[in-house]
Structure 1
Amino acid sequence: MSLPTTDAHVPPRASKANPWATLVAISFGVMMVAVDGTIVAVANPAIGASLGTTLAELQWVTHGYLLGLAVFLITSGKFGDRFGHRRVYFIGVIGFGLTSLAIGLSQGIPALIGLRILQGAFGSAIIPSALGLLRMSFPKEKLNRAIGVFSGLIGASTAAGPIAGGVLVSAVNWQAVFFVNVPIAVLAVTLGLRLLPANHAVDPDSRFDVVGILLLSLAMFGVVFALVSAPEEGWTHPMTLGSAATGLVLAAVFVWWQSRVREPLLPLSIFRSASLSIGTILILLMALAMFGSMFFLTFYFQGVQGLTPLETGLRIMPLSVMLAFGPPVAGRVIERFGIRVPAALGLLATAVALFGMSLVDADTGPVMTGLLFLLLGGGLGVVMVAATDAIVGNAPMRLSGVAGGMQQAAMQLGGSLGTAVLGALLGGRVAATLPDRFVEAGLPAPSGGEIEGMRSQVSQAVPVIPDGVSADVAAATASASHAAFLDGMGFAFTVGAAVALVAAGLALFLSRGETANGPVVHV
């Protein structure tokens, strides 16, 4: 039954609760999901050594999780709008904890990847529900600050993942990066039961677009599968082309279906807001830079510079610090000056940092990488808040969960694209420069077949050294392989910098949302 209210932004009962208590309650669930997007990055070498994986399989440990999130985020947001965000949040937290336990107990790479996809699906229930709870709990004039803190939680947790992973892998083993989620999930449920407001639905009479859910899920899976398969199978391989074509065709069918169905999963009218559309693109590009850079920098630090997982995490700490403290400050700046200029400047800082990363070599020290991470974290933090503000603030209240799911879907898909696209660029460049690097090191150039056999490992900064060679030949092979890896990483980051510059131009068309609201129902 609909209840009238003078402030449609806040449900009648939710308005009596302390909104900051809601933020505290959701923080552990949000951080758990964000950490797991990157904590595996540092554990990847240990997982690869333990299970004997290829680069593509390692990518799927990351991609499976991100894909599970991206595929189901909008659907989970719809569930939150329909049944109440509090209820969906608890389902996500409990499922996430249980699948984390199962992942830690898994013994093979197929089971690990499958469980990571399921873990991501449960994670998709947490983030949009948490954002929906914030939207319902905070008055309009304080929502920007809440989004700043929320973005800070996600950014800090995402960047802290490699540090936490380094500590756990060094002190225990790679399984520990998953087991740690179990006590966190218990704490998240305990706090949620005590602090979250009563369950409310903002769109209780809507129906589910089952066809739309299937089309969107299969479309995203097809496109990402093609991106992951291409480095191993080749861009012209029938499986790569077939997956990409299937995904793109299904995406087009999904758009057509959304324009025809009575109650679509993702109403196309929501994109009439130019700022919402641009904000979605900016979130995707920001995640591409963040996830892509951290994925390959772990190989750089551990493979080229020979650091331990813990030392690698500490090297990335400046990025963690900026992503923790930058977004809350950005929220206040945006509240005062708007989102256009801060977002554009944030993307310019991101571009400069990525270009700087393209110039690192085997001897680059912690001071230079630390400065680049500070600049990158500062830029990404501002973009995260501004783009989220543009998406959530320009969506109607009855679609708050869908908007939150769309924001996070763009972020997770961007992360998947970051590791896939940058990985493809890196691998291609490695294959192109490897013969010259071998010749420069005084070694015979590898043949085409040998290059293909070496590309996967060299793309992980692992040299392929034949058995029985002398120490000098082994050292020269390692040097040539690392030089080719740096060529590939530099090229990938140069492309990332160019993309950030284009995104900076788009940011100039952003505008702050008016936080339009609709009726809210208590169930």
Structure 2
Amino acid sequence: MTSSTTVADSAPEPPITEAPKGLRGHPWLTLLTVALGVTMVALDGTIVAIANPAIQKDLGASLADVQWITNGYLLALAVALITAGKLGDRFGHRQTFLIGVIGFAISSAAIGFSGEVSLVVVFRVLQGLCGALLMPAALGLLRATFPAEKLNMAIGIWGAVIGASTAAGPIVGGLLVEHVNWQSVFFINAPVGVLALVLGLLLLVDHRAEKAPRSFDLPGIVLLSGAMFCLIWALINAADWHWTDQRTLLFLGLSVVCFVAFVFWESRTREPLLPLSMFRSVALSAGTVLMVLMAFGFMGGLFFVTFYLQNVHGLSPVDSGLRLLPLTAMMIVASPLAGALITKFGPRMPLVTSMVITAVSMFGLSRLDVNSGALEMSIWFALLGLGLGPVMVGATEVIVGNAPIQHAGVAGGLQQAAMQVGGSLGTAVLGAIMAGRVDNTLPQKWADAGLPPMPEGAESKASDAVEVGIAPITKSTPPEIAGKITAVAHDTFVSGMGLAFTVAAVVSVVAALVASFTKRGENADAAGGSVHI
């Protein structure tokens, strides 16, 4: 039986060769370049949701088709991240990043020119695969380019870019769809991609670790990809299938089997895809779990906030995005500041404090009601951004910094995969909590409002509408009855959202405990490798 060499047992890495003088290889210009690529991927995670109704109408797509536009991207991104990180470790992060940028820009333009929804889905999958290539490579380039004392600040700015791009998606998407067309949502990636490519060719220096593996763990790739696919697929469909449905249980069971088989194989192969020795670092393991828990609350909670703003408060997509500006602004401000604090004091206390702040903001958001004003929402959104920004930075530093330099790409993929799994898990679990609360309380609230009983078979459709804050009324519903139904629907939705945010707050408290096991990256100064231009 063979296993990969542990970090503790390995010989000290030779120092990385000094990067060429001048603009090429300059750390801050490297950050600017990779930030452009990361912006495309993060923006596309939320911007497309605004364009989906227009795509559905223009291309005559079904609801299932529209769901695949989002799910295809998410699945490809989540499944390929760790493997893509391994490709960067093997062939160099500069090449992997540039290929990802080119592919992402081309597939984005292809979507804009597509006249059939099937082509949109195919190119969205290609987008996800290319995004998986460039995201871990971006972290690998930062890890290898920045000196240890400045790495946290760089990751802080990198995290601010991701947070701002994710939160800005609804605003940008709303403006483009409203004033241009849905195709412009994808075309916007082309000039950004061209700029990132030009800067990458001119400025990036390729860093490759001397101990990078020379072969590929194909069985590991197949097993991990299968495990991730089955897990994300089950989480995506859990709301429609329900958690006790045989299909949900089947895919969850297949995911467990694949994960177990993956661990068994990785412990025995000479050059594993994901060296299990990495997880002997308690800090790295804690950082990975922390990233999952952070994304659970962030992505799951943001999912309901958009419905709350648009369907309960009646705001347009653009106005909803503007209402979230305090969240975006605080993430932009807090992330670089967190990088400086983590550099000075280490990640433990900033991360614990930030997750406590996140928990407080989640509890505050759970108190929102139908009549909550902009000021009250802004306070809790700003506090949420203040808590989330440092966690995204700190958890990333803990994962990447505690991994050996030859596995920097894999560590970057692990960080992003943890975020994707956490976001999918949060959306699925909190969605199930919302559905359960609606099913339990809607009939009673309906009766208490003196509304006539719903026709047979209409309860399920009414619950589905209320779960996203929509009142189940038609044009023929009398105004007085419509007003009562709307009040009941919004009150029921807010009740479910409050419970979901309460659960997210409890998860944030657990995350604060997990954060206490983190520490500064053990390998921050062990950057071994060589530089290639």
TM-score of the alignment, normalized to the shorter chain, above 0.5: yes
Please state how far the C-alpha of 1:519 moved relative to its aligned partner.
3.7
The one-letter amino acid of 2:477's match is: V
Map of 2:318 onto structure 1: 310
Question: Is the 8 Å Cα contact of residues 99 and 118 (structure 1) preserved in structure 2?
Answer: yes
Please state how far the C-alpha of 1:269 moved relative to its aligned partner.
0.3
Please state how far the C-alpha of 1:436 moved relative to its aligned partner.
1.8
- Taking the TM superposition and a 5 Å limit, the aligned residue runs for 1:383-422 are 383-422=391-430
Note if 1:19 corresponds to 2:34.
no
Q: Which runs of 5+ in 1 are unaligned?
A: 1-5
The 2-side partners of 1:52 and 1:458 are apart by 24
TM superposition score normalised by structure 1: 0.93
Map of 1:520 onto structure 2: 529
Question: Is the 8 Å Cα contact of residues 10 and 139 (structure 1) preserved in structure 2?
Answer: no
Worse-matched range after superposition: 181-190 or 164-173: 164-173
Please state how far the C-alpha of 1:252 moved relative to its aligned partner.
1.3
Note if 1:228 corresponds to 2:205.
no
Question: Is the 8 Å Cα contact of residues 209 and 405 (structure 2) preserved in structure 1?
Answer: no
**Selected match of 2:261 from 217, 228, 253:** 253
Question: Is the 8 Å Cα contact of residues 83 and 201 (structure 1) preserved in structure 2?
Answer: no
Q: Percent identity?
A: 49
Note if 1:146 corresponds to 2:154.
yes
Question: Is the 8 Å Cα contact of residues 301 and 504 (structure 2) preserved in structure 1?
Answer: no
Question: Is the 8 Å Cα contact of residues 102 and 115 (structure 1) preserved in structure 2?
Answer: yes
**CA deviation map 1:366-405 (0-9, x unaligned):** 1111111110011001111111111111111111111111
Please state how far the C-alpha of 1:43 moved relative to its aligned partner.
3.9
Worse-matched range after superposition: 196-205 or 26-35: 196-205
Map of 2:436 onto structure 1: 428
The 2-side partners of 1:105 and 1:441 are apart by 50
Give the 3 Å change call, closer, same or farther, for CA 45–491 of structure 1 in structure 2. farther
The 2-side partners of 1:199 and 1:138 are apart by 12
Map of 1:132 onto structure 2: 140
Map of 1:494 onto structure 2: 502
The one-letter amino acid of 2:519's match is: S
**Selected match of 1:88 from 86, 96, 101:** 96
Please state how far the C-alpha of 1:186 moved relative to its aligned partner.
1.1
Note if 1:277 corresponds to 2:285.
yes
Map of 2:16 onto structure 1: 10
The 2-side partners of 1:314 and 1:488 are apart by 24
Alignment RMSD, CA only?
A: 2.3
Map of 2:274 onto structure 1: 266
Give the 3 Å change call, closer, same or farther, for CA 226–264 of structure 1 in structure 2. same
Give the 3 Å change call, closer, same or farther, for CA 463–260 of structure 1 in structure 2. same
The one-letter amino acid of 1:135's match is: R
Worse-matched range after superposition: 12-21 or 225-234: 12-21
Question: Is the 8 Å Cα contact of residues 50 and 173 (structure 2) preserved in structure 1?
Answer: yes
- Taking the TM superposition and a 5 Å limit, the aligned residue runs for 1:7-406 are 8-13=14-19, 17-44=25-52, 46=54, 54=63, 60-106=68-114, 111-198=119-206, 200=208, 202-406=210-414
Report how many residues are paired: 517
Question: Is the 8 Å Cα contact of residues 310 and 320 (structure 2) preserved in structure 1?
Answer: yes
Please state how far the C-alpha of 1:176 moved relative to its aligned partner.
2.5
The 2-side partners of 1:250 and 1:134 are apart by 32
The 2-side partners of 1:482 and 1:58 are apart by 26
SS, match of residue 444 in structure 1: coil
Give the 3 Å change call, closer, same or farther, for CA 196–374 of structure 1 in structure 2. same
SS, match of residue 267 in structure 2: helix
Map of 2:477 onto structure 1: 469
**CA deviation map 1:239-259 (0-9, x unaligned):** 111111111111111111111
**CA deviation map 1:131-156 (0-9, x unaligned):** 11111111122212211111122122
The 1-side partners of 2:128 and 2:211 are apart by 25
Please state how far the C-alpha of 1:223 moved relative to its aligned partner.
1.5
The 2-side partners of 1:246 and 1:163 are apart by 38
The one-letter amino acid of 1:323's match is: M
**CA deviation map 1:398-454 (0-9, x unaligned):** 111111111111112222222222222222222222212222332134478322223
The 1-side partners of 2:113 and 2:370 are apart by 37
SS, match of residue 507 in structure 2: helix
Give the 3 Å change call, closer, same or farther, for CA 176–463 of structure 1 in structure 2. farther
**CA deviation map 1:11-40 (0-9, x unaligned):** 344577321111112121011111111223
Question: Is the 8 Å Cα contact of residues 38 and 135 (structure 2) preserved in structure 1?
Answer: yes
Give the 3 Å change call, closer, same or farther, for CA 222–392 of structure 1 in structure 2. same
Give the 3 Å change call, closer, same or farther, for CA 402–84 of structure 1 in structure 2. same
Please state how far the C-alpha of 1:77 moved relative to its aligned partner.
0.7
The 1-side partners of 2:336 and 2:166 are apart by 16
**CA deviation map 1:301-348 (0-9, x unaligned):** 111111111101100111111111211000111111111111011111
**Selected match of 1:437 from 445, 459, 462:** 445
The 2-side partners of 1:456 and 1:100 are apart by 32
TM superposition score normalised by structure 2: 0.91
Give the 3 Å change call, closer, same or farther, for CA 14–404 of structure 1 in structure 2. farther
Map of 1:3 onto structure 2: none
**CA deviation map 1:42-72 (0-9, x unaligned):** 4455556665755x77665444323322211
Question: Is the 8 Å Cα contact of residues 203 and 399 (structure 1) preserved in structure 2?
Answer: no
**CA deviation map 1:203-244 (0-9, x unaligned):** 454211111111111111111211222221222222111111
